Chain A
Amino acid sequence: MKKVIMGNHALSYGAQLGRAQVVAAYPITPQTQVVELLSEMCADKSLDAKFIKVESEHSAMAACLGASLAGARTFTATSSHGLALMHELLHWAAIGRLPVVMGNINRAMAPGWSIWSDQNDSLSQRDTGWMQYYCASNQEVLDTTIQAFKVSEALSVPGMIMLDAFTLSHTYEVVDIPEQEKVDAFLPPFRPKLRLSSEDPRAFGGLTSPEHYFELRYKQQKDIEKAPALVAETGKEYEKLFGRRLELIEGYKNEDAELLFITAGTTGYTARVAVDALREEGVKAGNLRFRLFRPFPFAELRRLVGRSGRRVAVVDRNLSSGCNGIFFQEVKSALYGHVDGMPIFGYVSGLGGRDIALEHFREIAADALKRQPPAEEIVWIGVRK
Protein backbone atom coordinates (compact mmCIF):
# COMPACT_ATOMS: atom_id res chain seq x y z
CA MET A 1 0.00 0.00 0.00
CA LYS A 2 1.39 3.36 -1.00
CA LYS A 3 0.97 6.10 1.55
CA VAL A 4 2.35 9.60 2.12
CA ILE A 5 4.05 9.52 5.52
CA MET A 6 6.71 11.43 7.43
CA GLY A 7 10.16 9.96 8.01
CA ASN A 8 9.51 9.45 11.70
CA HIS A 9 6.42 7.38 10.95
CA ALA A 10 8.45 5.26 8.51
CA LEU A 11 10.40 4.11 11.58
CA SER A 12 7.15 3.36 13.45
CA TYR A 13 5.73 1.34 10.55
CA GLY A 14 9.06 -0.48 10.21
CA ALA A 15 8.93 -1.49 13.89
CA GLN A 16 5.28 -2.51 13.53
CA LEU A 17 5.86 -4.64 10.43
CA GLY A 18 8.94 -6.10 12.12
CA ARG A 19 6.63 -7.15 14.98
CA ALA A 20 8.64 -5.48 17.74
CA GLN A 21 7.54 -7.00 21.05
CA VAL A 22 8.82 -4.37 23.44
CA VAL A 23 9.09 -0.62 22.84
CA ALA A 24 10.66 1.52 25.57
CA ALA A 25 11.29 5.14 24.66
CA TYR A 26 11.42 8.67 25.96
CA PRO A 27 10.21 11.53 23.72
CA ILE A 28 12.58 14.19 22.39
CA THR A 29 12.28 16.62 19.48
CA PRO A 30 12.58 15.75 16.60
CA GLN A 31 11.93 12.06 17.35
CA THR A 32 8.55 12.44 19.12
CA GLN A 33 6.25 11.22 16.32
CA VAL A 34 8.07 7.87 16.14
CA VAL A 35 7.03 7.10 19.70
CA GLU A 36 3.59 8.74 19.47
CA LEU A 37 2.54 6.47 16.61
CA LEU A 38 4.04 3.37 18.24
CA SER A 39 2.18 4.09 21.48
CA GLU A 40 -1.07 4.42 19.49
CA MET A 41 -0.32 1.13 17.72
CA CYS A 42 0.26 -0.57 21.08
CA ALA A 43 -2.94 0.96 22.48
CA ASP A 44 -5.17 -0.12 19.57
CA LYS A 45 -3.43 -3.53 19.40
CA SER A 46 -2.33 -3.09 15.80
CA LEU A 47 1.08 -3.82 17.31
CA ASP A 48 1.20 -6.62 19.86
CA ALA A 49 3.95 -5.09 21.99
CA LYS A 50 4.57 -3.96 25.52
CA PHE A 51 5.03 -0.18 25.56
CA ILE A 52 7.18 0.84 28.52
CA LYS A 53 7.04 4.47 29.63
CA VAL A 54 10.30 5.55 31.23
CA GLU A 55 11.70 8.65 32.88
CA SER A 56 14.82 9.07 30.72
CA GLU A 57 16.67 7.73 27.71
CA HIS A 58 19.09 5.93 30.02
CA SER A 59 16.12 4.04 31.45
CA ALA A 60 14.68 3.49 27.98
CA MET A 61 17.84 1.68 26.89
CA ALA A 62 18.03 -0.18 30.21
CA ALA A 63 14.47 -1.46 29.65
CA CYS A 64 15.40 -2.45 26.09
CA LEU A 65 18.39 -4.43 27.36
CA GLY A 66 16.27 -6.34 29.86
CA ALA A 67 13.59 -7.08 27.26
CA SER A 68 16.11 -8.18 24.64
CA LEU A 69 17.90 -10.37 27.14
CA ALA A 70 14.57 -12.04 27.92
CA GLY A 71 14.22 -12.84 24.22
CA ALA A 72 11.91 -10.08 22.99
CA ARG A 73 12.39 -8.19 19.74
CA THR A 74 13.03 -4.69 21.03
CA PHE A 75 12.82 -1.25 19.46
CA THR A 76 13.43 2.31 20.63
CA ALA A 77 14.12 5.72 19.13
CA THR A 78 15.88 8.84 20.30
CA SER A 79 17.94 11.84 19.20
CA SER A 80 21.03 13.86 20.12
CA HIS A 81 21.10 14.46 23.91
CA GLY A 82 18.86 11.45 24.42
CA LEU A 83 21.37 9.27 22.60
CA ALA A 84 24.21 10.82 24.59
CA LEU A 85 22.42 9.95 27.83
CA MET A 86 22.22 6.31 26.67
CA HIS A 87 25.95 6.16 26.04
CA GLU A 88 26.92 3.82 28.87
CA LEU A 89 24.21 1.35 27.96
CA LEU A 90 25.03 1.42 24.25
CA HIS A 91 28.29 -0.33 25.16
CA TRP A 92 26.32 -2.70 27.35
CA ALA A 93 23.97 -3.64 24.49
CA ALA A 94 26.82 -4.22 22.05
CA ILE A 95 29.21 -6.19 24.24
CA GLY A 96 26.22 -7.94 25.82
CA ARG A 97 25.36 -9.02 22.24
CA LEU A 98 21.75 -7.80 22.42
CA PRO A 99 20.21 -7.07 18.99
CA VAL A 100 18.17 -4.00 19.98
CA VAL A 101 17.15 -1.86 16.98
CA MET A 102 16.96 1.90 17.46
CA GLY A 103 16.08 4.89 15.32
CA ASN A 104 18.15 8.00 15.94
CA ILE A 105 17.17 11.35 14.50
CA ASN A 106 20.45 13.15 13.79
CA ARG A 107 20.32 16.40 15.76
CA ALA A 108 23.14 18.76 16.68
CA MET A 109 24.55 18.80 20.21
CA ALA A 110 24.02 21.82 22.50
CA PRO A 111 24.85 24.46 23.49
CA GLY A 112 23.62 26.67 21.41
CA TRP A 113 20.47 24.74 21.94
CA SER A 114 19.61 23.26 18.56
CA ILE A 115 16.94 20.89 17.31
CA TRP A 116 18.34 20.82 13.78
CA SER A 117 20.39 18.26 11.96
CA ASP A 118 23.98 17.17 12.06
CA GLN A 119 25.62 13.81 12.65
CA ASN A 120 27.73 14.49 15.73
CA ASP A 121 25.26 12.74 18.02
CA SER A 122 25.46 9.34 16.31
CA LEU A 123 29.12 9.63 15.31
CA SER A 124 29.97 10.22 18.97
CA GLN A 125 28.62 6.67 19.48
CA ARG A 126 30.63 5.28 16.56
CA ASP A 127 32.87 3.16 18.80
CA THR A 128 30.17 1.58 20.97
CA GLY A 129 29.79 -1.47 18.70
CA TRP A 130 26.39 -0.68 17.17
CA MET A 131 25.75 -1.04 13.48
CA GLN A 132 25.03 2.36 11.94
CA TYR A 133 22.80 2.91 8.92
CA TYR A 134 22.29 6.39 7.40
CA CYS A 135 19.09 6.94 5.40
CA ALA A 136 18.13 9.34 2.62
CA SER A 137 14.43 8.66 2.01
CA ASN A 138 11.38 7.59 4.00
CA GLN A 139 11.15 4.40 1.95
CA GLU A 140 14.71 3.58 2.88
CA VAL A 141 13.94 4.21 6.57
CA LEU A 142 11.11 1.68 6.54
CA ASP A 143 13.01 -0.92 4.51
CA THR A 144 16.16 -0.52 6.63
CA THR A 145 14.24 -0.95 9.88
CA ILE A 146 12.80 -4.28 8.77
CA GLN A 147 16.19 -5.50 7.54
CA ALA A 148 18.02 -4.23 10.62
CA PHE A 149 16.07 -6.63 12.85
CA LYS A 150 17.09 -9.55 10.64
CA VAL A 151 20.77 -8.64 10.42
CA SER A 152 21.12 -7.68 14.07
CA GLU A 153 19.47 -10.85 15.32
CA ALA A 154 21.55 -13.07 13.03
CA LEU A 155 24.79 -11.55 14.35
CA SER A 156 23.74 -10.58 17.90
CA VAL A 157 24.80 -6.99 17.22
CA PRO A 158 22.53 -3.97 17.89
CA GLY A 159 21.56 -1.64 15.04
CA MET A 160 21.06 2.13 14.88
CA ILE A 161 19.16 3.77 11.99
CA MET A 162 19.83 7.45 11.29
CA LEU A 163 17.48 10.09 9.85
CA ASP A 164 18.45 13.75 9.41
CA ALA A 165 16.40 15.96 11.73
CA PHE A 166 13.50 17.59 9.85
CA THR A 167 15.09 17.12 6.41
CA LEU A 168 14.02 13.50 6.69
CA SER A 169 12.23 13.09 10.03
CA HIS A 170 9.53 15.66 9.23
CA THR A 171 9.41 15.35 5.44
CA TYR A 172 6.39 13.64 3.89
CA GLU A 173 7.06 11.31 0.97
CA VAL A 174 5.31 8.44 -0.74
CA VAL A 175 6.22 5.15 0.93
CA ASP A 176 5.28 1.69 -0.26
CA ILE A 177 4.28 -0.05 2.97
CA PRO A 178 4.65 -3.80 2.44
CA GLU A 179 2.07 -6.39 3.46
CA GLN A 180 2.52 -8.01 6.86
CA GLU A 181 2.52 -11.55 5.44
CA LYS A 182 5.38 -10.74 3.10
CA VAL A 183 7.40 -9.17 5.91
CA ASP A 184 6.69 -12.22 8.08
CA ALA A 185 8.07 -14.45 5.31
CA PHE A 186 11.23 -12.33 5.23
CA LEU A 187 11.70 -11.84 8.96
CA PRO A 188 11.16 -14.89 11.20
CA PRO A 189 10.48 -14.44 14.94
CA PHE A 190 13.43 -13.66 17.23
CA ARG A 191 14.71 -16.87 18.83
CA PRO A 192 17.96 -16.20 20.69
CA LYS A 193 20.12 -19.18 21.61
CA LEU A 194 20.52 -17.91 25.17
CA ARG A 195 18.09 -15.82 27.13
CA LEU A 196 16.95 -14.93 30.63
CA SER A 197 14.54 -17.62 31.72
CA SER A 198 13.49 -19.09 35.04
CA GLU A 199 13.35 -22.53 33.39
CA ASP A 200 16.98 -22.38 32.31
CA PRO A 201 18.63 -19.97 34.74
CA ARG A 202 21.85 -18.26 33.62
CA ALA A 203 23.85 -15.22 34.63
CA PHE A 204 24.65 -12.50 32.09
CA GLY A 205 27.16 -9.67 32.24
CA GLY A 206 29.06 -10.91 35.26
CA LEU A 207 32.63 -10.14 36.30
CA THR A 208 34.93 -11.04 33.41
CA SER A 209 38.60 -11.41 34.25
CA PRO A 210 41.52 -10.57 31.93
CA GLU A 211 41.52 -14.30 31.25
CA HIS A 212 38.28 -13.97 29.24
CA TYR A 213 37.41 -10.35 28.37
CA PHE A 214 39.80 -10.06 25.43
CA GLU A 215 38.23 -13.08 23.68
CA LEU A 216 34.77 -11.57 24.28
CA ARG A 217 35.82 -8.53 22.29
CA TYR A 218 37.56 -10.65 19.65
CA LYS A 219 34.37 -12.63 19.03
CA GLN A 220 32.29 -9.46 18.96
CA GLN A 221 34.59 -8.02 16.29
CA LYS A 222 34.59 -11.22 14.22
CA ASP A 223 30.80 -11.22 14.21
CA ILE A 224 30.32 -7.55 13.33
CA GLU A 225 32.83 -8.02 10.49
CA LYS A 226 30.34 -10.44 8.93
CA ALA A 227 27.77 -7.66 8.68
CA PRO A 228 28.69 -6.10 5.29
CA ALA A 229 28.31 -9.45 3.50
CA LEU A 230 25.14 -10.23 5.42
CA VAL A 231 23.61 -6.78 4.76
CA ALA A 232 24.34 -7.19 1.05
CA GLU A 233 22.85 -10.69 0.99
CA THR A 234 19.80 -9.61 3.03
CA GLY A 235 19.40 -6.67 0.67
CA LYS A 236 19.19 -9.01 -2.31
CA GLU A 237 16.69 -11.24 -0.55
CA TYR A 238 14.63 -8.13 0.28
CA GLU A 239 14.77 -7.03 -3.35
CA LYS A 240 13.35 -10.36 -4.52
CA LEU A 241 10.35 -9.92 -2.22
CA PHE A 242 9.80 -6.17 -2.35
CA GLY A 243 11.56 -4.97 -5.50
CA ARG A 244 13.84 -2.51 -3.75
CA ARG A 245 17.60 -2.87 -3.63
CA LEU A 246 19.48 -1.73 -0.57
CA GLU A 247 23.22 -1.47 -0.95
CA LEU A 248 26.06 -0.86 1.49
CA ILE A 249 27.08 2.23 -0.45
CA GLU A 250 24.87 3.71 -3.14
CA GLY A 251 26.80 4.74 -6.24
CA TYR A 252 25.45 7.34 -8.66
CA LYS A 253 27.24 7.96 -11.96
CA ASN A 254 30.45 7.03 -10.14
CA GLU A 255 32.02 4.75 -12.73
CA ASP A 256 33.36 7.37 -15.12
CA ALA A 257 33.43 10.23 -12.61
CA GLU A 258 36.49 12.45 -12.48
CA LEU A 259 35.17 14.07 -9.32
CA LEU A 260 33.58 11.81 -6.76
CA PHE A 261 31.49 13.17 -3.88
CA ILE A 262 31.28 10.96 -0.80
CA THR A 263 28.23 11.65 1.34
CA ALA A 264 25.80 10.17 3.88
CA GLY A 265 22.18 10.83 4.81
CA THR A 266 19.94 13.20 2.86
CA THR A 267 23.00 15.15 1.68
CA GLY A 268 23.65 12.08 -0.46
CA TYR A 269 20.36 12.59 -2.29
CA THR A 270 20.88 16.30 -2.95
CA ALA A 271 24.33 15.25 -4.22
CA ARG A 272 22.64 13.30 -7.03
CA VAL A 273 20.89 16.47 -8.17
CA ALA A 274 24.27 18.25 -8.03
CA VAL A 275 25.93 15.47 -10.06
CA ASP A 276 23.34 15.90 -12.83
CA ALA A 277 23.71 19.70 -12.81
CA LEU A 278 27.52 19.55 -12.84
CA ARG A 279 27.53 17.06 -15.72
CA GLU A 280 25.38 19.45 -17.74
CA GLU A 281 27.97 22.11 -16.97
CA GLY A 282 30.79 19.86 -18.23
CA VAL A 283 32.11 18.43 -14.93
CA LYS A 284 32.11 14.62 -14.84
CA ALA A 285 30.87 14.26 -11.27
CA GLY A 286 29.61 11.21 -9.41
CA ASN A 287 28.44 10.35 -5.91
CA LEU A 288 28.87 7.60 -3.36
CA ARG A 289 26.45 7.62 -0.45
CA PHE A 290 27.25 5.58 2.65
CA ARG A 291 24.23 3.61 3.81
CA LEU A 292 26.18 1.45 6.23
CA PHE A 293 28.91 3.19 8.20
CA ARG A 294 29.44 0.67 11.04
CA PRO A 295 30.82 -1.78 10.43
CA PHE A 296 32.81 0.13 7.85
CA PRO A 297 32.27 -1.33 4.36
CA PHE A 298 35.97 -1.35 3.40
CA ALA A 299 35.78 -3.71 0.42
CA GLU A 300 32.74 -2.00 -1.07
CA LEU A 301 34.28 1.48 -0.75
CA ARG A 302 37.52 0.32 -2.42
CA ARG A 303 35.57 -1.39 -5.20
CA LEU A 304 33.42 1.68 -5.90
CA VAL A 305 36.22 4.24 -5.68
CA GLY A 306 38.18 1.96 -7.96
CA ARG A 307 40.89 3.37 -10.13
CA SER A 308 43.17 6.28 -9.39
CA GLY A 309 43.14 9.44 -11.48
CA ARG A 310 40.02 10.92 -9.98
CA ARG A 311 39.48 13.40 -7.19
CA VAL A 312 37.42 12.66 -4.11
CA ALA A 313 35.46 15.24 -2.09
CA VAL A 314 34.10 13.93 1.22
CA VAL A 315 31.19 16.03 2.50
CA ASP A 316 30.82 15.82 6.28
CA ARG A 317 27.81 17.08 8.23
CA ASN A 318 29.81 16.54 11.41
CA LEU A 319 33.10 17.58 12.93
CA SER A 320 35.57 15.87 15.22
CA SER A 321 36.74 18.99 17.01
CA GLY A 322 40.48 19.42 16.77
CA CYS A 323 40.66 16.97 13.89
CA ASN A 324 38.32 17.13 10.88
CA GLY A 325 35.25 15.54 9.30
CA ILE A 326 34.72 11.95 10.49
CA PHE A 327 33.74 10.39 7.16
CA PHE A 328 36.78 12.16 5.64
CA GLN A 329 39.15 10.58 8.16
CA GLU A 330 37.70 7.13 7.68
CA VAL A 331 37.57 7.25 3.88
CA LYS A 332 41.21 8.34 3.72
CA SER A 333 42.21 5.63 6.14
CA ALA A 334 40.29 2.95 4.20
CA LEU A 335 41.85 3.92 0.86
CA TYR A 336 45.42 4.33 2.13
CA GLY A 337 47.66 1.82 0.36
CA HIS A 338 44.83 0.68 -1.93
CA VAL A 339 44.53 3.48 -4.47
CA ASP A 340 47.70 5.31 -5.49
CA GLY A 341 47.97 9.05 -5.41
CA MET A 342 44.29 9.85 -5.15
CA PRO A 343 43.64 13.40 -3.94
CA ILE A 344 41.01 13.25 -1.17
CA PHE A 345 39.67 16.48 0.31
CA GLY A 346 37.41 17.03 3.30
CA TYR A 347 34.50 19.51 3.36
CA VAL A 348 32.56 20.35 6.50
CA SER A 349 29.09 21.76 5.90
CA GLY A 350 25.57 21.94 7.28
CA LEU A 351 26.33 21.85 11.02
CA GLY A 352 23.35 22.62 13.24
CA GLY A 353 20.91 22.21 10.34
CA ARG A 354 22.41 24.77 7.95
CA ASP A 355 21.09 23.77 4.53
CA ILE A 356 23.34 21.90 2.07
CA ALA A 357 22.05 22.82 -1.37
CA LEU A 358 23.10 22.62 -5.02
CA GLU A 359 25.19 25.80 -4.82
CA HIS A 360 27.27 24.25 -2.02
CA PHE A 361 28.10 21.23 -4.17
CA ARG A 362 29.12 23.61 -6.98
CA GLU A 363 31.43 25.35 -4.52
CA ILE A 364 32.89 22.01 -3.38
CA ALA A 365 33.40 20.87 -6.98
CA ALA A 366 35.18 24.09 -7.96
CA ASP A 367 37.51 23.76 -4.98
CA ALA A 368 38.18 20.02 -5.33
CA LEU A 369 39.09 20.33 -9.02
CA LYS A 370 41.85 22.85 -8.36
CA ARG A 371 43.08 22.10 -4.83
CA GLN A 372 46.54 20.61 -4.44
CA PRO A 373 47.20 17.71 -2.04
CA PRO A 374 48.10 16.99 0.70
CA ALA A 375 44.85 17.85 2.40
CA GLU A 376 44.73 17.91 6.17
CA GLU A 377 42.90 21.18 6.65
CA ILE A 378 39.13 21.49 6.74
CA VAL A 379 37.46 23.19 3.81
CA TRP A 380 34.45 24.97 5.29
CA ILE A 381 31.36 25.28 3.11
CA GLY A 382 28.61 27.79 3.89
CA VAL A 383 30.08 29.17 7.13
CA ARG A 384 30.48 32.90 7.93
CA LYS A 385 34.11 33.23 9.01
Chain B
Amino acid sequence: MIEIRFHGRGGQGTVVASKILADAIAKEGNYVQAYPEFGVERRGAPVVAFLRVDNKPIYDKSRIYTPDHVVVVEPTLVEAIDVTDGLKPGGTILINTDKKTTDFPQYKAFRVVTVDATGIAVKNKLGTLAAPIVNTAITGAVVKIFELAKLPSLQDSIRETIGIKTEDNVKAAAEAFEQVVFGKAGGK
Protein backbone atom coordinates (compact mmCIF):
# COMPACT_ATOMS: atom_id res chain seq x y z
CA MET B 1 0.00 0.00 0.00
CA ILE B 2 1.17 3.52 -0.80
CA GLU B 3 -0.06 6.42 1.33
CA ILE B 4 0.30 10.00 0.10
CA ARG B 5 -0.57 13.28 1.83
CA PHE B 6 -1.30 16.51 -0.06
CA HIS B 7 -0.79 20.00 1.38
CA GLY B 8 -2.50 22.94 -0.28
CA ARG B 9 -4.61 25.97 0.49
CA GLY B 10 -8.40 26.10 0.30
CA GLY B 11 -9.53 27.02 -3.22
CA GLN B 12 -6.53 25.55 -5.07
CA GLY B 13 -8.26 22.31 -5.95
CA THR B 14 -6.11 20.06 -3.77
CA VAL B 15 -9.04 17.80 -2.90
CA VAL B 16 -10.10 17.69 -6.56
CA ALA B 17 -6.51 16.72 -7.48
CA SER B 18 -6.67 13.73 -5.14
CA LYS B 19 -10.04 12.76 -6.60
CA ILE B 20 -8.74 12.96 -10.20
CA LEU B 21 -5.77 10.81 -9.20
CA ALA B 22 -8.06 8.27 -7.51
CA ASP B 23 -10.08 8.08 -10.69
CA ALA B 24 -7.04 7.54 -12.92
CA ILE B 25 -5.62 4.88 -10.59
CA ALA B 26 -8.96 3.03 -10.47
CA LYS B 27 -9.10 3.03 -14.30
CA GLU B 28 -6.01 0.82 -14.29
CA GLY B 29 -7.61 -1.67 -11.92
CA ASN B 30 -6.01 -0.74 -8.61
CA TYR B 31 -7.85 -0.01 -5.37
CA VAL B 32 -7.84 3.53 -4.11
CA GLN B 33 -9.21 5.68 -1.33
CA ALA B 34 -9.11 9.49 -1.40
CA TYR B 35 -10.36 11.80 1.29
CA PRO B 36 -10.00 15.38 2.45
CA GLU B 37 -8.95 16.38 5.91
CA PHE B 38 -12.22 16.20 7.75
CA GLY B 39 -13.34 19.70 8.46
CA VAL B 40 -14.75 22.94 7.20
CA GLU B 41 -12.87 24.13 4.14
CA ARG B 42 -11.95 27.81 4.08
CA ARG B 43 -10.44 29.61 1.12
CA GLY B 44 -6.76 30.33 1.69
CA ALA B 45 -6.40 28.21 4.83
CA PRO B 46 -4.04 25.22 4.77
CA VAL B 47 -5.90 22.09 3.62
CA VAL B 48 -4.80 18.47 3.60
CA ALA B 49 -5.98 15.58 1.42
CA PHE B 50 -5.01 11.92 1.54
CA LEU B 51 -4.65 9.11 -0.96
CA ARG B 52 -4.24 5.36 -0.36
CA VAL B 53 -3.39 3.05 -3.26
CA ASP B 54 -3.13 -0.74 -3.20
CA ASN B 55 -3.50 -3.75 -5.47
CA LYS B 56 -6.06 -5.26 -3.05
CA PRO B 57 -9.13 -3.84 -1.28
CA ILE B 58 -8.36 -1.12 1.27
CA TYR B 59 -10.05 -1.59 4.64
CA ASP B 60 -8.18 0.93 6.77
CA LYS B 61 -10.54 3.86 7.43
CA SER B 62 -8.30 5.64 9.91
CA ARG B 63 -6.27 8.69 9.05
CA ILE B 64 -2.85 8.51 7.44
CA TYR B 65 -0.25 9.22 10.14
CA THR B 66 2.95 8.03 8.45
CA PRO B 67 2.68 8.78 4.73
CA ASP B 68 5.12 7.28 2.25
CA HIS B 69 5.20 10.55 0.32
CA VAL B 70 3.94 14.12 0.57
CA VAL B 71 2.91 16.55 -2.15
CA VAL B 72 3.22 20.27 -1.47
CA VAL B 73 0.75 21.98 -3.79
CA GLU B 74 1.29 25.41 -2.22
CA PRO B 75 4.98 26.41 -1.89
CA THR B 76 4.40 28.95 0.93
CA LEU B 77 3.43 26.04 3.19
CA VAL B 78 7.08 24.93 3.26
CA GLU B 79 7.70 27.89 5.61
CA ALA B 80 4.33 27.76 7.39
CA ILE B 81 4.00 24.15 8.54
CA ASP B 82 6.07 20.99 8.93
CA VAL B 83 5.07 19.13 5.78
CA THR B 84 7.32 16.21 6.79
CA ASP B 85 5.27 15.37 9.92
CA GLY B 86 5.15 11.56 10.11
CA LEU B 87 6.74 11.18 6.65
CA LYS B 88 8.58 7.87 6.41
CA PRO B 89 12.39 8.21 6.22
CA GLY B 90 13.52 8.14 2.60
CA GLY B 91 10.06 9.21 1.44
CA THR B 92 9.57 11.66 -1.40
CA ILE B 93 8.48 15.30 -1.11
CA LEU B 94 7.08 16.71 -4.33
CA ILE B 95 7.10 20.51 -4.19
CA ASN B 96 5.38 22.92 -6.57
CA THR B 97 8.23 25.42 -7.01
CA ASP B 98 10.55 27.03 -9.55
CA LYS B 99 13.47 26.51 -7.17
CA LYS B 100 16.07 23.76 -7.48
CA THR B 101 15.82 20.50 -5.55
CA THR B 102 19.02 21.51 -3.71
CA ASP B 103 17.30 24.64 -2.37
CA PHE B 104 15.59 22.54 0.32
CA PRO B 105 18.42 21.42 2.64
CA GLN B 106 15.92 21.11 5.52
CA TYR B 107 14.54 17.97 3.84
CA LYS B 108 17.84 16.11 3.68
CA ALA B 109 16.31 12.95 5.18
CA PHE B 110 14.01 12.70 2.16
CA ARG B 111 14.08 12.79 -1.63
CA VAL B 112 13.00 16.17 -3.00
CA VAL B 113 11.31 16.35 -6.39
CA THR B 114 10.15 19.62 -7.92
CA VAL B 115 7.79 20.75 -10.62
CA ASP B 116 6.87 24.32 -11.52
CA ALA B 117 3.14 23.66 -11.52
CA THR B 118 2.39 27.35 -10.95
CA GLY B 119 4.43 28.31 -14.03
CA ILE B 120 2.67 25.64 -16.10
CA ALA B 121 -0.77 26.78 -14.86
CA VAL B 122 0.00 30.44 -15.68
CA LYS B 123 1.29 29.51 -19.12
CA ASN B 124 -1.91 27.59 -19.86
CA LYS B 125 -4.04 30.42 -18.42
CA LEU B 126 -5.56 28.23 -15.70
CA GLY B 127 -7.10 30.44 -13.02
CA THR B 128 -5.75 33.97 -12.74
CA LEU B 129 -2.19 35.31 -12.48
CA ALA B 130 -2.80 36.04 -8.80
CA ALA B 131 -4.48 32.72 -8.11
CA PRO B 132 -3.44 30.14 -10.71
CA ILE B 133 -5.14 26.73 -10.50
CA VAL B 134 -2.32 24.27 -10.24
CA ASN B 135 -4.08 21.04 -9.37
CA THR B 136 -4.16 19.39 -12.79
CA ALA B 137 -0.45 20.10 -13.35
CA ILE B 138 0.27 18.55 -9.95
CA THR B 139 -1.56 15.36 -10.90
CA GLY B 140 0.70 14.99 -13.97
CA ALA B 141 3.79 15.18 -11.78
CA VAL B 142 2.36 12.78 -9.20
CA VAL B 143 1.60 9.96 -11.64
CA LYS B 144 5.06 10.36 -13.18
CA ILE B 145 6.97 10.23 -9.89
CA PHE B 146 5.06 7.51 -8.13
CA GLU B 147 4.13 5.57 -11.28
CA LEU B 148 0.53 5.38 -10.09
CA ALA B 149 -1.12 5.55 -13.51
CA LYS B 150 -0.27 6.13 -17.14
CA LEU B 151 -0.61 9.64 -18.53
CA PRO B 152 -3.52 8.80 -20.90
CA SER B 153 -5.58 7.40 -17.98
CA LEU B 154 -4.94 10.59 -16.03
CA GLN B 155 -5.89 12.74 -19.02
CA ASP B 156 -9.16 10.80 -19.39
CA SER B 157 -9.92 11.44 -15.72
CA ILE B 158 -9.24 15.15 -16.13
CA ARG B 159 -11.56 15.27 -19.14
CA GLU B 160 -14.31 13.58 -17.10
CA THR B 161 -13.87 15.84 -14.06
CA ILE B 162 -12.95 19.32 -15.32
CA GLY B 163 -15.64 21.05 -17.33
CA ILE B 164 -13.87 24.38 -17.92
CA LYS B 165 -10.73 24.81 -20.09
CA THR B 166 -10.63 21.03 -20.22
CA GLU B 167 -7.95 20.65 -22.89
CA ASP B 168 -5.73 23.30 -21.28
CA ASN B 169 -5.85 21.27 -18.06
CA VAL B 170 -5.04 18.07 -19.96
CA LYS B 171 -2.05 19.87 -21.52
CA ALA B 172 -0.89 21.18 -18.13
CA ALA B 173 -0.83 17.64 -16.74
CA ALA B 174 1.24 16.42 -19.72
CA GLU B 175 3.72 19.31 -19.35
CA ALA B 176 4.17 18.64 -15.64
CA PHE B 177 4.60 14.95 -16.42
CA GLU B 178 7.56 15.89 -18.68
CA GLN B 179 9.06 18.64 -16.56
CA VAL B 180 9.44 16.92 -13.18
CA VAL B 181 12.96 17.40 -11.74
CA PHE B 182 14.19 14.52 -9.60
CA GLY B 183 16.57 15.34 -6.78
CA LYS B 184 18.67 12.77 -4.99
CA ALA B 185 18.17 11.51 -1.47
CA GLY B 186 20.03 13.63 1.05
CA GLY B 187 18.95 16.94 -0.49
CA LYS B 188 21.38 16.79 -3.43
The reply to whether A353 and B26 contact each other, CB–CB distance below 8 Å, is no
Partner of A4, one of B26, B60, B62, B65: B26
The reply to whether A167 and B38 contact each other, CB–CB distance below 8 Å, is yes
The reply to whether B59 and A174 contact each other, CB–CB distance below 8 Å, is no
Partner of A270, one of B31, B34, B35, B62: B62
Q: Which of B48-88 contact A (CB under 8 A)?
A: 58-63, 65
Interface bin, chain B: 20 to 34
The interface residues of chain B lying within 8 Å CB-to-CB of A164 are 61
Nearest B residue (CB) for A164: B61
The interface residues of chain B lying within 8 Å CB-to-CB of A168 are 61
The interface residues of chain A lying within 8 Å CB-to-CB of B65 are 357
**29 interchain pairs, CB-CB under 8 A:** A2-B26, A4-B23, A4-B32, A4-B34, A164-B61, A166-B36, A167-B38, A167-B61, A168-B61, A170-B38, A171-B33, A171-B34, A171-B35, A172-B18, A172-B19, A172-B22, A173-B32, A173-B58, A174-B31, A267-B61, A270-B59, A270-B62, A273-B59, A273-B60, A353-B38, A355-B62, A356-B62, A357-B63, A358-B62
A19 within 8 A of B: no
The interface residues of chain A lying within 8 Å CB-to-CB of B36 are 166, 170
A272 within 8 A of B: yes
The interface residues of chain A lying within 8 Å CB-to-CB of B33 are 171-173
Interface size on A, residues (CB 8 A): 27
A167 to B63, CA, bound (A): 9
How far is the CB of A29 from the nearest CB of chain B, in Å? Answer: 8
How far is the CB of A233 from the nearest CB of chain B, in Å? Answer: 26
A261 within 8 A of B: no
A28 to B86, CA, bound (A): 33
20 further contact pairs, Cβ within 8 A, besides A29-B40, A115-B39, A357-B65: A4-B23, A115-B40, A164-B61, A166-B35, A167-B35, A170-B35, A171-B33, A171-B34, A171-B35, A172-B18, A172-B34, A173-B33, A174-B32, A270-B59, A270-B60, A270-B62, A273-B59, A355-B63, A357-B63, A358-B62
- Of the candidates B23, B34, B35, B40, the one having the most CB atoms from chain A within 10 angstroms of its own CB is B35
A266 within 8 A of B: yes
How far is the CB of B46 from the nearest CB of chain A, in Å? Answer: 17
